[in-house]
Structure 1
């Protein structure tokens, strides 16, 4: 197969979706002081295509407006036909233009060949009918037999079938290159869009269903017919079915009669033995999921692991905050190109034209040999006016008409369903992340050399499906370089507040100002570059220890010294040194934890796997955070119960390290620190303490100030000591 050089994806996609900067902003921020309900999911989406897609999923005569499950087939009704027409007008032409821009010449060849290949069966039937008529004529005649005409017809048939096979092989190879190219572009675009989405956007059930149907459209390019999916290439292939249908109709219309010695038995026996020899003559084929090559096998596993990392919600907080999107796309793209044969291709696995049998064995001589079974029957019925050739040609043409008609009908039905999947895909590509500010409101982040200044004003947040806000009337301020401890009972909203401050969750009302700028006007990706964290439910990646730590600063993943420094700061060096292969050891998460990604878990000495205890995993997560915390541009460190599984001595060492990272050698502040803890002895380290209860900050101040108040914090502190 030829190597493929892909043009930039933006070039192909310009005709399908609006540029990112031109996407409409459909959801203005609610600044009311009261807790507002979650924004409607439809406000996240481009209205015209989305509305037609959503309406097609609404069950008719249903007052409750129940919807079909994602991927369910739409009924062929007048309303759905109108919706399909509307979606086709808005999507189909631009989508076809994108495919055309990918490989215009190959696509032209594909269309022309599919039309001509539809005519080939009629020519094949006519040629074989002439041969069978000549065989019948020769064996039923008396006197001298002239075999020259029969031999000439046989030679022409061999030449015809060889040419047809060569054209079929070329066309199939051309189609495979086209299909794999568009599959790669579609899957890459889908992965990029999924990685662009933030958690508030994907919390909408309608958005998730939209992406499910978009995934089905992308899967249609895999050619998995049993899923009832139809790709544009299947639709192009219908041109061949239509031309075949009309060519056989013409054959039936123009059929004429024809009438033809120990060779007959030999031919009959050969036709019976042909299926036994066919497997020996036919070269084995390599299919998509049949990865014989070790490189392809590893690449297939790698691509699925990175796809899981991109699409699994369990990973999304760390994928978003640590900016893992480009790294995921690079690794997925390199693996996907190998499995699709777009690079590192083994020519022997692609069904090339390297041998004579590769041309001769695919030839469609099965029809001719099968027809020879009818020779004895026709000779026994000499009284019949029908010749063997006309009888066979008529029967084959009639069967082909029935088959082609059924194939065209099924294709039209699948095409009708695919229109709605195309609509879902197009709409999903235009979904805007909820926390991304409008281009005209976007501001640049203003760095601070002494840490991040944070002002939180009357923040409210409610989880989707809940009627009670998880955060209400949250207000406080932190000066650059200060440390805040957030304490409170379980379920009081501590982790939710941390995720809101990290811009993982979107608040509904109020305002957060960082370094004098409204955080809602900052690009979340830019904001996250200045933040590092340890999440309470941190990801336990089924990957090497190096990768588990290095994803905290993906640009330094290959710098062993940086990873070892981060592990040493987190007091995790002894954990790494105890592993069978050190940083190269694959860490195996506990049963029931996050899914695996990143490396195929094959057996063998180079893939030793190792489990860790809860405390050891926590040290790995802290090391991950310190990978980024050491960088000068990071101004805010957020730790959500970072030492819950560590003993008191290990806990003190970690917090001493945090204190050292947040200050210069002379004690000047460098970074603002926020940490959540249940251990009030640790909270004493902080400059300020926020006591939370039922989603609100009920007390705020220094340790001594809160003790002096003799309120909830003082009572809890005295109970703990």
Structure 2
């Protein structure tokens, strides 16, 4: 529920300034500073917030209608849904039926009082009916489960594709936006075994079911007690207590409006940091190798004693604070009301002793029904509020597919002549400057150069000088902040993105590996040939990965990072493998948790897999790729592997245009048509290898320093 309320608050419009003392109230709660919005007077009127929520529900109903139409497009979904609703609503009437037959016991008691005998036939009829209700309830529960499982699975499958599409289509700056990340998070269900659409169906069905249950139970009870002494009065008192409890129920803190909480307590912040240090496996090597665990323990103990009872999370502090609230008259009245039915019963018994058996039966019937009624009523209001959240979640589910990418697609097809790509591509930067989103510093500043078709450009310089940014802008992962980029003398922004990216092969410095098999990781270099094992093996050979991949037990079917974990219980001592994989007998074994498999590949091997993916695109799309972009492709390779890579890159290049970035000067610089030496986001020097050595500038100085490392 907390997640839903956070989503609800995140939809609010406007601003919230904790420093605005006129509209925001500040409270100290433990080590936390709580800031709560002071709403307008109208917002404090009874029902104002509920009215606002239901107005929003009305505005979101078109999205619900769209969801229903989508459900209708799923095979057999409507048939399963109709059966599910029929079972659910039929089951909601069973408590009233059972109540009716329980009420017949009153007739048994009355008959016994009047005739000093038991109506055996009626008693057996009631017993049989109650037994039948229980059996029928069990059958309906089973049917509901059998229908809900395939229904949930089909709806979940449909919307998993919907959300996958919404996430997969986003470009880099859009996906990296925190606001977009929150929007994507809110489009996912709170429970991974369900979906937002299924939650909406279940919630609506349950809401109708509870309403039917309440109406039917009250109707039956009214009819049963109509002829009993003080029966309606006892029922009114019992139900009055229930209504009073709901009306005076303390509302959850998260529903109080817009609020924010922070802490600046240095001891608490350090305490939480120390918890993360010892709880995160990433720090374990440093803790053990540095022998610092005793120091960490002493620091933690010191902070814990300083903080004392204040060392709690925000919600723990709120709970402790609210528990100190004074005892109210309302609380006392709430304790008295449940006793009123028994007081009335006692007075009735004193006045009419002969009616005691019937009164006891009536009171027992009312008490049981009131308990059921109370649970149903509270559930009704809870589900009503949750339904509003579900409707808002449905809107967010459909909104994610309308998120606009920051990098706008062009309309111009590229290239006009597909065969021209075999001769390379012209790349030109004109006074290009760029800042990454959310930063103030320039990643590139006033960069200009021109690279002709078939030429090799090597960009060199220290880390952070802007080399990688140039490649990212050419691939249009981002658009320049200032200036213009031309591809074959056309503004890059007017070219169709799909065509442009198909015409180039890229390997970035911060390369990634997908949680798929090694074969899939390489094959995704060209998705159209991802199943071609011969092409994958050839790409692996060119990328230098074939030899070590063949030594792996599963070869190209090996998963770099297995996306599905194994579940196992506490295994017999001595068990070392499970399903052919090593078993971790550490903390996860004690928990009966999950095991994972790591291939243990080195950084250089991982880079060779990424290189193979780039080679895959180049060898398969020989005539479809005209530009090769390599960003620090040898950063994790040893000198021998680097030399072999450079030779393969030269063979691969052919007539294609190639841009290669590196902080190390290698054999490629000797053959480069253009070398760009960068520092502090600018091009400091440019020219060929011989020209820059003659210039005796920074390039020549660094070249000399690196060359000396290999001289005796």
Measured against aligned partners, the alpha-carbon deviations of 1:299-324 in whole angstroms (never above 9, x if no partner) come to xxxxxxxxxxxxxxxxxxxxxxxxxx
- Deviation for aligned residue 1:384: 0.9
State the distance in 1 between where 2:51 and 2:19 align: 19
Indicate yes or no: 2:217 matched with 1:231. no
Pick from 649, 657, 661 the counterpart of residue 672 of structure 1. 657
C-alpha distance 217-708 of structure 1, shift in aligned 2 (>3 A) = same
C-alpha distance 98-51 of structure 1, shift in aligned 2 (>3 A) = closer
Checking the alignment, whether the CA contact within 8 Å between 1:487 and 1:676 is kept in structure 2 is yes
State the distance in 2 between where 1:57 and 1:106 align: 43
- Deviation for aligned residue 1:239: 1.0
Measured against aligned partners, the alpha-carbon deviations of 1:649-681 in whole angstroms (never above 9, x if no partner) come to 321211111111121xxxxx1x21111112223
- Deviation for aligned residue 1:490: 1.8
2:616 maps to what in 1? 627
Radius of gyration: which is bigger? 2
Indicate yes or no: 2:426 matched with 1:462. no
State the distance in 2 between where 1:422 and 1:503 align: 33
2:12 maps to what in 1? 55
Q: How does 1:151-166 map to 2 (within 5 A)?
A: 151-166=124-139
Pick from 418, 440, 461 the counterpart of residue 488 of structure 1. 461
- Deviation for aligned residue 1:56: 4.3
1:28 maps to what in 2? none
Aligned residue for 2:599, secondary structure, equals strand
Checking the alignment, whether the CA contact within 8 Å between 2:674 and 2:688 is kept in structure 1 is yes
Indicate yes or no: 2:628 matched with 1:644. no
Indicate yes or no: 2:364 matched with 1:409. no
Which has the larger helix fraction? 2
1:718 maps to what in 2? 704
Q: List alignment gaps of at least 5 residues for structure 2.
A: 1-6, 25-34, 73-77, 229-348, 568-576, 583-597, 708-712
C-alpha distance 634-138 of structure 1, shift in aligned 2 (>3 A) = farther
Q: List alignment gaps of at least 5 residues for structure 1.
A: 1-49, 67-71, 260-377, 588-595, 664-668
- Deviation for aligned residue 1:503: 2.2
State the distance in 1 between where 2:123 and 2:51 align: 57
Indicate yes or no: 2:497 matched with 1:512. no
State the distance in 1 between where 2:507 and 2:632 align: 8
State the distance in 1 between where 2:513 and 2:557 align: 16
Q: How many residues in Structure 1 have an aligned counterpart in Structure 2?
A: 526
State the distance in 1 between where 2:108 and 2:8 align: 64
State the distance in 2 between where 1:210 and 1:73 align: 24
State the distance in 1 between where 2:490 and 2:566 align: 46
C-alpha distance 585-170 of structure 1, shift in aligned 2 (>3 A) = closer
Aligned residue for 2:423, secondary structure, equals coil
Higher deviation after alignment, 408-417 or 72-81 = 72-81
State the distance in 1 between where 2:435 and 2:706 align: 31
1:657 maps to what in 2? 648
C-alpha distance 101-680 of structure 1, shift in aligned 2 (>3 A) = closer
- Deviation for aligned residue 1:241: 1.1
- Deviation for aligned residue 1:493: 0.8
- Deviation for aligned residue 1:197: 0.9
Aligned residue for 2:658, secondary structure, equals strand
- Deviation for aligned residue 1:442: 5.2
State the distance in 1 between where 2:696 and 2:18 align: 63
Measured against aligned partners, the alpha-carbon deviations of 1:108-164 in whole angstroms (never above 9, x if no partner) come to 555555444333211111123325754896799767x77444434444444444444
Higher deviation after alignment, 214-223 or 183-192 = 214-223
State the distance in 1 between where 2:192 and 2:106 align: 45
- Deviation for aligned residue 1:526: 3.5
State the distance in 2 between where 1:541 and 1:414 align: 37
Q: Which has the higher contact order (CA 8 A, sep 6+)?
A: 1
C-alpha distance 573-165 of structure 1, shift in aligned 2 (>3 A) = closer
State the distance in 2 between where 1:491 and 1:553 align: 30
- Deviation for aligned residue 1:488: 0.9
C-alpha distance 83-388 of structure 1, shift in aligned 2 (>3 A) = closer
Indicate yes or no: 2:220 matched with 1:251. yes
C-alpha distance 81-252 of structure 1, shift in aligned 2 (>3 A) = closer
Measured against aligned partners, the alpha-carbon deviations of 1:617-639 in whole angstroms (never above 9, x if no partner) come to 22222122211121221222111
Instruction: Calculate the aligned-residue CA RMSD, in Å.
Output: 3.9
1:397 maps to what in 2? 369
Checking the alignment, whether the CA contact within 8 Å between 1:257 and 1:390 is kept in structure 2 is no
Checking the alignment, whether the CA contact within 8 Å between 2:63 and 2:398 is kept in structure 1 is no
State the distance in 1 between where 2:424 and 2:519 align: 29
State the distance in 1 between where 2:70 and 2:510 align: 45
C-alpha distance 487-429 of structure 1, shift in aligned 2 (>3 A) = same
Aligned residue for 2:124, secondary structure, equals helix
- Deviation for aligned residue 1:200: 0.6
Pick from 58, 67, 85 the counterpart of residue 98 of structure 1. 67
Aligned residue for 2:358, secondary structure, equals coil
- Deviation for aligned residue 1:478: 1.6
Measured against aligned partners, the alpha-carbon deviations of 1:384-423 in whole angstroms (never above 9, x if no partner) come to 1526764443222222222222112212333344454444
1:20 maps to what in 2? none
1:264 maps to what in 2? none
Measured against aligned partners, the alpha-carbon deviations of 1:233-262 in whole angstroms (never above 9, x if no partner) come to 213311111121222222232224899xxx
- Deviation for aligned residue 1:553: 2.9
Indicate yes or no: 2:192 matched with 1:214. no
1:435 maps to what in 2? 407
